[in-house]
Structure 1
Amino acid sequence: MKKYIAVVLGCWLLALGAGCVEQVNLAKVGGAVADLGAAATVDDEELKEMSRAMRAQGDAQAKVAPADSAYAKRLARIMADHTEVNGIPLNYKVYLTSDVNANASADGSVRVYSGLMDLMTDDEIRYVLGHEIGHVAHGDTLKAMRVAYMGSAARKGVGALNPTADALSESMLGDLLEAALNAQFSQSQENAADDYSMQFLKSNGYQTRAAVTALRKLEKLGGKGGGLLSSHPDSGKRAERMEKAIQSSSI
C-alpha cells in the first residue's frame, strides 16, 4: 500500500511543482496525505461497492440496449453460461454506440458496445469479454479501482474522505469511472488476460482462433477503434502471440 501512496502522492506533488495548480493550500495537502492513508486501508468489498455505484451512474448516462433488443438478446445468449468469476457475480449490458469497445469493472459489471458486436462473431465477442473478465479474475480491475480512488483523494484534497458509495459525490463517481476504465495495465497483465481468455474459449468448446481473428479486426481499424485500441497493447502483436500459442498448443 505504501507503494500506491508514494506513486499517487508523488505524481500529485509533481503536478503542483509544475504549476498545474495556481495556489497550494498546505492544509489541503496535509488532508490529502491523510486521505491517501485512509484510501490505502479501504477493503476490497468497499471498493466493489464503489465500483457498483460508479457503474450505476455510467449506465444512467449511457444509452443502454433494452433487454428485448436484438443486441441484448444476443449478448445474453453468448454469455448465458458465464455468470460469475471467482465468486463475483457477472452482469452484462450493451451500450448503443458505434464505438468498438468493451470493459469490465471490479464489481463484475461487463459492458460491450454495439459497435463491437456489429464487427465481431459470437466467439470473437467471447474472446474480448473473456479478456476483460480475466482482468477481474486476476484482481487487475480492483487494483485499478484502488489507484483511481487514491488519485481522486489526492486531487480533491478533502480532509475526511468517506469510503462508502453513498458518501461519494456524482462528480467523484464520474472521476472514478473514467480513471478506472482508462487504466493502463502492464504488458504482463495484458498477456495474462489474453491467456485467461484463450483458456476460457478452449475449456468451453469455443473456437480459440476467434482470439486471432478478433485481434486482426481490431488491427485493421487502426486509430478508428476507440477505447479498446487506445487502452490495450498493439493488436497485431497480440494476434501473433495468440497464433503461436495455438500452434504450439500451449493454450
Structure 2
Amino acid sequence: MKKKFIVLGILFAVFGFAKMNAQILSNKAMGALGKGVSGFTFSDADAAALAKESIAEMDANNPVAGPTDGYSIRLNRLFGKHASTDGVALNYKVYLVKDINAFACADGSVRVFAGLMDIMDDNQLLAVIGHEIGHVVNHDTRDAIKAAYKKEALLDAASSQSGKIETLTGSQLGKIGSAMIDSKHSRKQESEADSFSYDFMKKNGYDVNAVESAFRILQNLSEGAESSFITKMMSSHPDSGKRADDAKKRATKDGLYKEYVQQKIDNTAPAKATPKTPVKKKTTKKK
C-alpha cells in the first residue's frame, strides 16, 4: 500500500490530492480567490471535481478489489440498490488493506477497507457506510475541501504582486492534501451524520440496532492496545460509547430496540460449480 491511512478513520472523509489538475475549479471561483474574497463561490460541482481527481489518484495507488473478489461481491450485494441516495450518485470500491477504515468523497465515491469488512457484519457495515454517505449528503465533504482550498490559495494570493491565481502548483495541492488528511468533521457534523445513518437504516428496513452495535465495536477497539492513540485521534469527535448510547435511545423511543447479535461475516467469493463430465455409455457390439 503506497499511501498510509489512519487506523479507525471511519468517521473522517480522507482525500489525496497529489497530481491533481488545478484547472478543474470554475474560473469564477478562481477569480474570486485571486481578489481575496472570503466568501468565494465554491459549488458542489467544484467539490465533486476535486474529489473525482483525488479518488482516481487514490484508486491508482492502492490495491482495489476486482469485481470477482469476495469483498467486492459482498459490498455490491449490500449497496447495489443504493447507487443513488438523496439525489447523490454513489459508487463503491474496496481497498484490500487491513486498516479499519471507510470514507466518502464529495463526488459520491465511497471506499471501504477490507479490515473494516472483516470485523463488521452486513447490518453494521450498512450503518457505518450510511454515516459516511451522510457526510456527502450534508455537504460536509464539500465544506472540508473548500476550507482547505481557500486556506492555501488565499495565502498565496495575499503574497502575490498581481493578487491573481491562474493555477495551483503541485506544492499548493500537496498542502491542501495534507490539510484534508489532518482535518476532522465537527461534533455537530458527526452527530448529524449519525442521525442520517439511523434514518437510512430505518427508511430502508434494516435493523437500526446495528448502529449502536457498530459504535460498540469502535468503543471496544478504543479501549484496547491502541487506546491512547485512538483517543487522541478522535479527541474532536463524540465518544463512540456516547454515540452508541444515543443510537440505543433513538431505537428505544421508536419501539425498535433489542440487543443486537452480530451475524456471520463472509467475505469469500462463491465457489464456482465444477461442470460434470458426462459419462459415456458403454455399448456392446452385436455378434
| TM-score, normalised via structure 2 length | 0.66
Higher CA-based Rg: 2
- Which residue of structure 2 lines up, in the alignment, with residue 209 of structure 1? 209
**Deviation (angstroms), 1:36:** 4.8
Give the distance between the partners of 1:92 and 1:181, measured in 2 at CA. 20
**Runs of 5+ consecutive residues of structure 2 not aligned to the other structure:** 1-32, 257-287
Change (3 A) 1:170 1:117: farther
Secondary structure class of the residue paired with 2:57: helix
The answer on whether the counterparts of 2:83 and 2:89 sit within 8 Å (CA) in structure 1 is: yes
Change (3 A) 1:50 1:102: same
Give the distance between the partners of 2:176 and 2:89, measured in 1 at CA. 21
Aligned ranges 1:42-191 → 2 under 5 Å: 42-154=42-154, 160-162=164-166, 172-191=172-191
**Deviation (angstroms), 1:91:** 0.8
Give the distance between the partners of 1:58 and 1:173, measured in 2 at CA. 14
- Which residue of structure 2 lines up, in the alignment, with residue 236 of structure 1? 241
Secondary structure class of the residue paired with 1:93: strand
The answer on whether the counterparts of 1:103 and 1:181 sit within 8 Å (CA) in structure 2 is: no
One-letter identity of the residue aligned with 1:68: T
**Deviation (angstroms), 1:133:** 0.4
The answer on whether the counterparts of 1:102 and 1:132 sit within 8 Å (CA) in structure 2 is: yes
**Deviation (angstroms), 1:192:** 1.0
Give the distance between the partners of 1:174 and 1:226, measured in 2 at CA. 25
**Deviation (angstroms), 1:156:** 5.2
Secondary structure class of the residue paired with 2:100: coil
Give the distance between the partners of 1:141 and 1:250, measured in 2 at CA. 33
Give the distance between the partners of 2:170 and 2:207, measured in 1 at CA. 42
**Deviation (angstroms), 1:99:** 1.0
Change (3 A) 1:203 1:250: same
The answer on whether the counterparts of 1:58 and 1:177 sit within 8 Å (CA) in structure 2 is: no
One-letter identity of the residue aligned with 1:110: V
Give the distance between the partners of 1:45 and 1:51, measured in 2 at CA. 10
**Any idea what the Cα deviations from partners look like across 1:94-125, whole Å, max 9, x if unmatched?**
11111111111111111111100001001101
**Any idea what the Cα deviations from partners look like across 1:190-219, whole Å, max 9, x if unmatched?**
111111110111111111111111111111
Change (3 A) 1:52 1:133: same
Instruction: Tell me which moved more, 112-121 or 82-91.
Output: 82-91
The answer on whether the counterparts of 1:104 and 1:110 sit within 8 Å (CA) in structure 2 is: yes
Give the distance between the partners of 2:49 and 2:197, measured in 1 at CA. 26
Give the distance between the partners of 1:154 and 1:250, measured in 2 at CA. 51
Give the distance between the partners of 1:76 and 1:172, measured in 2 at CA. 36
Secondary structure class of the residue paired with 2:197: helix
Give the distance between the partners of 1:161 and 1:38, measured in 2 at CA. 15
**Deviation (angstroms), 1:249:** 1.4
Give the distance between the partners of 1:54 and 1:142, measured in 2 at CA. 13
Give the distance between the partners of 1:76 and 1:35, measured in 2 at CA. 46
One-letter identity of the residue aligned with 2:213: T
**Runs of 5+ consecutive residues of structure 1 not aligned to the other structure:** 1-32
The answer on whether the counterparts of 2:186 and 2:237 sit within 8 Å (CA) in structure 1 is: no
Name the structure with the higher helix share.
1
One-letter identity of the residue aligned with 1:246: A
Secondary structure class of the residue paired with 1:245: helix
